[in-house]
Amino acid sequence: MRDLPRNILHCIGSTRLLPLRKVLPRSGARLLLKLESENPTGSMKDRMALAMIEAAEADGRLGSGGGVVEYTGGSTGVSLALVCAVKGYPLHIVTSDAFAREKLDHMRILGAQLRIVPSDSGRMTEKLTRDMIEAARVITAETGGFWTDQLNNRDQLAAYHHMADEIWAQTGGRIDGFVQSVGTAASLRGTSEALRRHDSRIRVVAVEPAESAVLSGGPSGAHKIDGIGAGFVVPLWQAGIADWIEPVSTEAAGAMALRLAREEGLFAGTSTGANVVAALRLAEQLDRDATVVTVMCDTGMKYLSKH
């Protein structure tokens, strides 16, 4: 009985690393998927939500009875709703009809109050992101709550340092490449920083929507890959984070998500599909004994209405 977790927050992290069996590169390289769907809400964002709240508690930005505010495409909001429910903080979320209905329902069930910002035909655009940020700013001013402000919050990086250490231990230090899609850029930045402390030769690839390839120097556009591609260069992005940037289309990401389900039994969202597409492209450039790790960002159960 001594090893039982004190609450659900102690079940965050320590997710498994799974080798793919059928979705494989022609080069013969090994492709491993970090199963972040094993976190309590089914998303890697549980890690960062807990890190942001606990850092604010530690330095006094968030006190007993205080409220929390955030803008989100859904997964961060669900994760914050979980943390706030356990810790007893009221939560105000700004989100949009562009995102999966399951995520919005999940936030409500966990007790969050939602403000819905209308989208352009269900698409993610720069304007939508900026409208959501402004709405969160207004709510913060009105309520006096603590705004986690995920696009600028560096406290979340520590959560991904821990994820990198898990990956390093699980691979026994045998990792040649790491691939991750860019939303706030925190997961890519935090994980790559820590992995490169272990081995500076690890190749890091950032993934963005081909329809809005702003990190690659392209124009801002509309896409339908949930949780990534804000439409502008996000504040936590740094040019040295990645060795290169791989654009992946919404169509390719969706097709790979379905392939993972039907060939590997892994039901994931489109950001995971984009990750695997880019990971395969990297693996094709490496030797047959190379190992590439990417992330199953969340469970496809969050996107049933979009399939």
Residues 213 and 257 in one domain: yes
65 and 112 part of one domain: yes
Pair 69, 19 in one domain: no
Q: What range defines the domain where residue 197 resides?
A: 8-38+159-306
Same-domain check for residues 123 and 75: yes
**Residue 186 and residue 50 in one domain:** no
* pLDDT given for residue 290 in this prediction: 97
Residues 62 and 95 in one domain: yes
The CA radius of gyration of the chain, in Å to the nearest whole number, is: 18
- Looking at the structure of the chain, the number of domains it has is 2
Indicate whether 135 and 212 sit together in one domain: no
User: Of 147, 174, 199, which one is at a domain's C-terminal end?
Assistant: 147
State the average pLDDT over residues 231-239: 93
Mean residue pLDDT of the chain comes to: 95
Task: Give residue 65's pLDDT.
Answer: 83
Question: Residue 100: which CATH number?
Answer: 3.40.50.1100
The number of residues making up the chain comes to: 307
Please report, as a single letter, which amino acid is at residue 189.
R
Q: Is the domain of 184 the same as that of 285?
A: yes
Does some domain include residue 1? no
- Specify the pairing of strand 91-96 against strand 113-117: parallel
| Residue 118 in domain | yes
Q: What is the helix (H) or strand (E) element at residue 203, kind and residue range?
A: strand 203-209
70, 127: one domain: yes
Q: From residue 256, how far is each of 195, 268, 270, 273 by CA, in Å?
A: 26, 9, 8, 5
Tens of pLDDT along 173-224? 999 999 999 999 999 999 999 999 999 999 999 999 999 999 999 999 999 8
Residue 17's pLDDT band (cuts 50, 70, 90): very high
Q: Which residues sit opposite 294 in a β-bridge? A: 33, 179
Q: What is the pLDDT of residue 306?
A: 65
Does some domain include residue 2? Answer: no
d(CA 170, CA 190): 18
Q: What is the pLDDT of residues 90-104, one digit of tens each?
A: 999 999 998 888 889
The number of C-alpha atoms within 13 Å of 49 and in the hemisphere containing its C-beta is 32
Residues 66 and 95 in one domain: yes
pLDDT for 145: 96
Of the residues 147, 172, 207, which one is the last residue of a structural domain?
147
Distance CA 256, CA 51 (A): 31
Per-residue confidence band for 125, with pLDDT thresholds at 50, 70 and 90: confident
- Average pLDDT (25-38) is 96
pLDDT at 122: 82
Domain for residue 3, yes or no? no
Query: 298 and 210, same structural domain?
Result: yes
Q: What is the pLDDT of residue 1?
A: 61
Rounded Cα–Cα distance for residues 155 and 172 (Å): 27
